[in-house]
Amino acid sequence: MTSQDFIKNKIDLLVSIFPNIKCRYEYEADDDTHTIEITPDSFYNSNIDLPKLEREITTEFIRMFPSEGLFFVTDKSRYPVAISRYTKAGATFDKTFIIAKFISNNFTNPYMEVKEIDEAYLFETAA
């Protein structure tokens, strides 16, 4: 198994465990570094299970490919993935991401209770 195959397999695992994320993968041949970008940033920074899995993946990667580097970033990182070699989104990523974006853009009152959002309206206005 190549390091690139390893990364793709781990991305498939990540989006199956966390179906509301999207991962993009970039490989820099100049310095043998691999970058996995996780979107949305809010999930990456708030999920308590992701750091453990990230450490496990990194440890296994270093053991198998000691001369290469692996980094995890988000779409809001200083150096996000520029050219993706592989992209995979979880089953609920689009819906989750669009709803979160819609709410943050349209409901500025933190005391407003959102009971139901009409999906047809949501997808028309979120574009």
Beta strands in 1-127 (DSSP E): 22-28, 33-39, 69-74, 86-89
C-alpha torsion angle, residues 14, 19, 22, 23 (rounded to 10): 10
> Do 33 and 87 reside in the same domain of the chain?
yes
pLDDT along the chain (127 residues), means of 10: 96 94 94 93 87 95 97 89 90 65 51 44 39
Domain that holds residue 75: 3-91
Interatomic CA distance for residues 6 and 54, integer angstroms: 14
Q: Which helix (H) or strand (E) holds 10?
A: helix 3-17
At 31, which CATH number? 3.30.70.2210
Give the pLDDT score at 98: 52
- Backbone φ and ψ for 19, nearest 5 degrees, come out as -70, -5
Count of domains observed in the chain:
2
Residues 80 and 35 in one domain: yes
| Residue 72 sits in the same domain as residue 32 | yes
Please check whether residues 86 and 102 belong to one and the same domain. Answer: no
Phi then psi for residue 76, to 5 deg, are -100, 5
Separation CA 77–CA 38 (nearest Å): 10
Instruction: Judge if 101 and 123 occupy the same domain.
Output: yes
Q: Which residue from 64, 66, 78 is spatially nearest to 9, judged by alpha carbons?
A: 64
Query: Which pLDDT does position 80 carry in this prediction?
Result: 85
**CA-CA distance, 61 to 11, in Å (whole number)?**
13
Q: Based on the domain organization, do 86 and 103 belong to the same domain?
A: no
Statement to judge: residues 120 and 80 lie in one domain: no
Instruction: Say what the pLDDT of residue 125 is.
Output: 38
CB count in 10 Å sphere of residue 10: 22
Whether residue 38 sits in one domain with residue 7: yes
pTM, full prediction: 0.73
